[in-house]
Amino acid sequence: MPSEKPILFPAHTDQLMTTYKAIRGMVDILPAATPLWQSMETTALEVLASYGYEEIRLPVIESTGLFARSIGEVTDIVEKEMYSFNDRNDDSMTLRPEGTAGCVRAVVQHNLATTPQRLWYMGPMFRYERPQKGRQRQFHQIGVEAFGVATPDQDAELIALSRQLWRRLGVDDALTLEVNSIGSASDRARYREALVAYLSDRREALDIDSQRRLQTNPLRILDSKSPDTQEILDAAPALRDYLDSESREEFDQLLAYLEALDIPYRINPRLVRGLDYYNKSVFEWTTNALGAQGTVCGGGRYDSLVEIFGGKPMPAAGFAVGLERLILLMQALEITVSSPADLYVIAADEGTYRHTLPRMDALRRQFPDLNIVQHLGGGSFKSQFKRADKSGASWALVYGETEVTNNQVTLKPLRSEAAQRTIGDAELTAFLADFLAETQRA
């Protein structure tokens, strides 16, 4: 008997068609918002290129074991937040909850770790979390990863790069850099023992999540959002007292670089980051403008991850920017971007529209920086002018019977007090060249 196949499309009903909605926590980014996203992404690409970072494009789905191995099996992400499923070969797959693991996997798989690498990627990540402002189940990140440099100048460059992005986007004054050193694996093992001993005597006073983490991932308790737990931590052993001399010296050197770069910072001794692969210097850029979801960017050093994935030992460091939160911050600061049409083309009838087609096609080739919108669907001049005004265009190019007969076009200003005038087709090129030059000067 043939195997049964799942029903991919239920029977059509009008009622069913009206109830389709985006999955909770996975939101649509509508055309009104995309100009700000595009502007932010373009600026980020320019900054990354200026520092010599190259793009790598990675799969959205990876083997589940990849994330359990790198992020840590007892982290919240692996225990509670990953979208995992078995494929038709019964292999466990996961929608990526973060990008570093996949990037390191690619570096090892394709033998890129033989020389220093500066890489970046951008795209959606997935975590099953309670949706709220600035925290979605599908969210977007720009990840920046650097391989092959063990010294703190690499950490400093990553922080300087991120700050350059904030400056270019106009959000620099709203962000604060927090830094810390979590030392080596042996440093953390000694500190973990002391922290667990201290907190075990106060277990009942900890919040529920911290009680669970006490036996699984006690360093994450430092990042607890519970005021009562934070009060208990005030007298806890300090991680900095357990750092070896190498970690201390490298952290001091990083701070010296930040001071040379005139980048203000705050040492946050409870900053540990939520992923097991970090070591030594870690950092976050935070803001008070977004309420509880105040971390816009976070990263640090992860020197052992390449070796864990089967590559030769290679130091590495990186960071990720939460793009939804960055956009929210830009909106909170009233940073706006729009991409209105420059020209709106109006034609009297179908024959006139056919007359305009080759002309507009040629103008778009000649002036690729101009946004030329052609009215479609016919309609009266009055209705077309309403659409032209709504488009935000500066000028309407109007074609009627007279213009077609005489190879002319009427220029009607939509945003200024300039005079309406009719010119020949040959003069239109000069007019558009002047208009473009004026626009670019502005």
**Residue 191 pLDDT level (bands cut at 50, 70, 90):** confident
Residue 8: how many CB atoms within 10 A of its CB? Answer: 5
pLDDT at 441: 79
Please give the tally of structural domains in the chain. 2
Whether 153 and 116 share a structural domain = yes
Q: What angle do CA 237, 240, 242 make, to 5 degrees?
A: 75
Does 294 map to a domain? yes
Whether 141 and 60 share a structural domain = yes
Mean pLDDT of the chain: 90
Over 80: is that where the pLDDT of 274 sits?
no
CATH of the domain at 276: 3.30.930.10
Whether 172 and 314 share a structural domain = yes
User: How far is Cα 256 from Cα 235, in angstroms, rounded to an integer?
Assistant: 29
Final residue in a domain of this structure, among 332, 357, 380 = 332
User: Regarding predicted confidence, which is higher, 86 or 6?
Assistant: 86
Tokens standing for residue 162: 């991120």
Whether 349 and 250 share a structural domain = no
DSSP class of residue 12? Answer: P
DSSP class of residue 394? Answer: S
Does 130 map to a domain? yes
DSSP class of residue 35? Answer: H
Tokens 């309670």 belong to: 130
Whether 324 and 374 share a structural domain = no
* Full-model pTM: 0.85
CA dist 236 to 168, 195, 266, Å?
A: 40, 7, 20
Q: What single-letter amino acid sits at 72?
A: G
Whether 37 and 125 share a structural domain = yes
Does 114 map to a domain? yes
Does 396 map to a domain? yes
User: Regarding predicted confidence, which is higher, 300 or 440?
Assistant: 300
Tokens standing for residue 10: 């239920």
Whether 155 and 70 share a structural domain = yes
CATH of the domain at 361: 3.40.50.800
Q: Please give the average per-residue pLDDT across 274-278, as a whole number.
A: 73
Tokens standing for residue 77: 């992400």
CB neighbour list of residue 52: distance below 8 Å, 6 or more residues apart: 118
Does 88 map to a domain? yes
Does 33 map to a domain? yes
Over 70: is that where the pLDDT of 20 sits?
yes
Whether 370 and 284 share a structural domain = no
Largest CA distance in the chain: 93
Torsion sign across C-alpha atoms 287, 301, 128, 99: positive
Which range marks the domain in which residue 113 is found? 21-184+244-332
Are residues 318 and 299 in contact, defined by beta-carbon separation less than 8 angstroms? Answer: yes
Q: Please give the average per-residue pLDDT across 304-309, as a whole number.
A: 90
Does 70 map to a domain? yes
Helix (H) or strand (E) holding 301: strand 295-301
User: How far is Cα 264 from Cα 252, in angstroms, rounded to an integer?
Assistant: 15
For every residue of 334-349, DSSP letters joined together read T-------SEEEEESS
pLDDT at 75: 58
Final residue in a domain of this structure, among 299, 332, 365 = 332
pLDDT at 306: 92
**Residue 439 pLDDT level (bands cut at 50, 70, 90):** confident
pLDDT at 72: 61
Does 209 map to a domain? no
pLDDT at 224: 81
Q: Is 110 helix (H, G, I), strand (E, B) or coil?
A: coil
User: How far is Cα 384 from Cα 345, in angstroms, rounded to an integer?
Assistant: 9
Q: How many percent of the chain have pLDDT more than 90?
A: 68
Whether 30 and 73 share a structural domain = yes
pLDDT at 71: 67
* 408-418: pLDDT as tens digits: 999 999 999 99
Tokens standing for residue 108: 């090892």
Whether 324 and 357 share a structural domain = no
Q: Which of 61-75, 136-150, 296-310 has the lowest mean pLDDT?
A: 61-75
pLDDT at 368: 94
Whether 398 and 254 share a structural domain = no
* 322-343: pLDDT as tens digits: 999 999 999 999 998 877 889 9
Q: Please give the average per-residue pLDDT across 182-209, as a whole number.
A: 88
Final residue in a domain of this structure, among 332, 351, 386 = 332
Whether 300 and 372 share a structural domain = no
